[in-house]
Amino acid sequence: MIYAFAMSKSTVTNDITQRGLYNTIDFPEFLEMLGRVAHILYKDETERSFEEKLEAVIQQIITSFGL
């Protein structure tokens, strides 16, 4: 899932002064990461829609945190 995190990150314009941005994620990047995770985990399941795949990922996250 590191790949999904890295690919969802926006460009950092100044590596020196904004170096802390490499290890954080804002909300739009988080949403993109969820989509990428769903795509990676369920890429071979062609019968499921993307929305169903994304819902399955979100459900896994919710249950793993006991919510």
Mean pLDDT of the chain: 91
Handedness of CA 19, 1, 57, 42 (dihedral sign): positive
Domain limits, the chain: 2-64
Q: Between 50-64 and 27-41, two packed helices, what is the crossing angle to 10 degrees?
A: 110
Handedness of CA 64, 43, 33, 55 (dihedral sign): negative
pLDDT at res. 23: 85
pLDDT at res. 3: 87
| Global pTM value | 0.80
Alpha helices in 1-67 (DSSP H): 2-8, 27-41, 50-64
pLDDT at res. 18: 86
Q: What is the largest CA-CA distance in the chain?
A: 46
